[in-house]
Structure 1
Amino acid sequence: MEFLKSFDSDDDVEFVETFFNVVQHVHAEESSNAARTRAVVNRDRQAAHDLLVRDYFADNCLYNDDSFERRFRLNKAIFLRLSNALESRYDFFKQKPDARGRMGFSSIQKCAAALRYLGYGITFDASDEYLKVSERTAVECVDWFSACVYEVFHEEYLRKPTQRDIERLYSAHEERHGFPGMLGSLDCTHVAWEKCPTAWRAGSNNDINVLGQSPLFNDIWTGKAPDMTFTANGHAYKYGYYLGDGIYPDYSTLMKAYSVPRSEKVKFFTKKQESVRKDIERAFGVLKQTWHVVKYATRLWDKERIK
């Protein structure tokens, strides 16, 4: 560099040499980033849709209904009901052309991508080879599917129990377990969060907080629940109760086993209470085996979206 000779001191020369090195390094990084730009993959979405139909939805499909239910975690009739309901209500699930005029993904493709993630707990791009759904689109499918299914069906399937429902619960649990006034068993399960911030890992942010997310329990706690009176040993009680273990607080609506049973009567009660609570342990076992998104670490970034 001939023009370096015009500088008066060695310090000036060293400064300019350093400056040129930085410029060359930045230029090299820009070139490297340009080389790493995401390549456009021309996915044949329509062919993937046609293959999915031939495999599972055609009159003479390749796989039978048992295979469908095992792989998608629900039967075909429910899947189609979900897909049709979401497609009729939300623009995201409607098949429409993109900016280049090519048809986008169908509703069954987007629902299938969401259910594959929820059912298997796989990475978001694991279904790309079969469904031709990219990682980013798969994340959107899971978000939209979860939120929209809740919005459409929660009033029917996640509604609060009516007085008649509660009476049936009382009757069923008393007949089967011998606990009058029992609403069910209460427990929570641990959900691992792969993207959990380090500052939160020591807290309880990885746990499903059942006490804070159960509408019926909240209504009982705040006194808004309907009158659910039952009688036990000649005493009338206004609200029903849940069976719980020792980790829960001492609420009147929670019936916990004795930690150190001493008398035969207390030992008998504790044995019965713990045997009945096996139902919810089995339920969590079935839940995790069916929906692996609960069994494995979730890959979503936001806590509200995970909930």
Structure 2
Amino acid sequence: MLNRNHEEGHKHLYRDYFADYCVYGAKDFKRRFRLNRDVFLRIANALESRYEFFQLRYDARGRRGFTTLQKCVATIRLMAMGESPDAMDDYMRMYERIARESLYTLSKGVVETFGDVYLWKPSLHDLQELYVAHEERHGFPGMIGSIDCIHWKWKNCPVAWKGQFASGHHGSPSLTKGACKDVEHAFGVLKAKWHIVEHAARPLDLETLRYIMYACIIMHNMIVEDKGRNIAHCIPTEPRHVQFQPGIAEYLHRVVDIQDANKHRQLREDLADYIFYGNNNDNE
């Protein structure tokens, strides 16, 4: 059995990136792990306080386990570089099994801890801010909520999703043109920053992959916020008094009405009644 010396691995990692006079500075950390050290420490501290898995523990023989820094750095490195979990052995002194478990637990922990803040659905106030910001940068307010009925064949659609994206008049999975652009842009950004999305996702089960994708999105939003480039801010306890520009308020309310499940069901039933009964009601 190999003596990996977990404690020496932690000391090596701490001297390289987290000591007062560390070997590699903040720029090196950001280049290698895709996020600032402050954002990383925020994530690591939150997970350590919430999950026993990220707390330092000892086995039955009294041997020290892996620290929070070792598990979190190994996971972020897997996500950023798309490396195999076995690659964590030489530097982190970490078993492949622990690296895989860290990847799943961190991804799930990030979603559960930060999902309410960084995955919340935009409100009317947020959409208004997005319109204003887009108009300032590009000269026109954008096309949020637009409907595009042009369908594009989705050749690389995951097998588990084919039933959701295949309709009766399309023999294969397809996306609308607008959705296609959204998917290409979103996955393009994620693949550029988090290489696990592109290289190392095939061996993962669907649940793990879902948590990894959401975790990548959340950390991307945290990075954007850290840079001061976020447009909307999540303040759940603060009441929002919105002053819309002329014409935009009515449009945004129509968008919300379209997405309302009850109104959608009522419109569908009314349409079915009209088709079935025709104009008979008009003669009554």
Q: Which residue of 2 aligns with 1:298?
A: 201
Q: How does 1:120-199 map to 2 (within 5 A)?
A: 120-177=81-138, 179-180=140-141, 182-183=143-144
TM superposition shift of 1:181? 6.0
Structure 1: which 5+ residue stretches go unaligned? 1-39, 187-201, 213-246, 257-276
Name the aligned partner's letter for residue 204 of structure 1: C
Q: Does 1:289 align with 2:192?
A: yes
TM superposition shift of 1:168? 0.8
Q: Does 1:49 align with 2:3?
A: no
1:130 to 1:157, Cα distance in 2 relative to 1, 3 A: same
Contact 1:87/1:94, CA 8 A, preserved across alignment: yes
1:90 to 1:185, Cα distance in 2 relative to 1, 3 A: farther
Q: Secondary structure at the match of 1:248?
A: strand
Percent of residue pairs identical: 47
Q: TM-score, normalised by structure 2?
A: 0.61
Q: TM-score, normalised by structure 1?
A: 0.56
CA distance in 1 between counterparts of 2:23 and 2:79 reads 23
CA distance in 2 between counterparts of 1:289 and 1:77 reads 21
Q: How does 1:16-27 map to 2 (within 5 A)?
A: none
CA distance in 2 between counterparts of 1:170 and 1:80 reads 33
Q: Does 1:205 align with 2:158?
A: yes
TM superposition shift of 1:285? 3.6
Q: Does 1:73 align with 2:38?
A: no
Q: Which residue of 2 aligns with 1:231?
A: none
TM superposition shift of 1:171? 2.0
TM superposition shift of 1:93? 0.2
CA distance in 2 between counterparts of 1:124 and 1:46 reads 19
Q: Secondary structure at the match of 1:204?
A: coil
Q: Which fold has the larger relative contact order, with Cα–Cα distance below 8 Å and residues 6 or more apart in sequence?
A: 2
CA distance in 2 between counterparts of 1:68 and 1:114 reads 14
CA distance in 2 between counterparts of 1:255 and 1:301 reads 25
Q: 2:56 aligns with which of 95, 98, 101?
A: 95
* Deviations 1:229-263 (CA, angstroms, capped at 9, x unpaired): xxxxxxxxxxxxxxxxxx5248xxx599xxxxxxx
Structure 2: which 5+ residue stretches go unaligned? 148-154, 166-173, 211-284
Name the aligned partner's letter for residue 91 of structure 1: E
Q: Secondary structure at the match of 2:4?
A: coil
Q: 1:117 aligns with which of 73, 78, 83?
A: 78
Higher helix share: 2
Contact 2:83/2:200, CA 8 A, preserved across alignment: no
RMSD: 3.2
Contact 1:96/1:104, CA 8 A, preserved across alignment: yes
How many residues of Structure 1 are paired with residues of Structure 2 in the alignment?
195
Rg larger for? 1
Runs of 4+ in 1 over 3 A off after TM superposition: 174-181, 206-209, 279-286
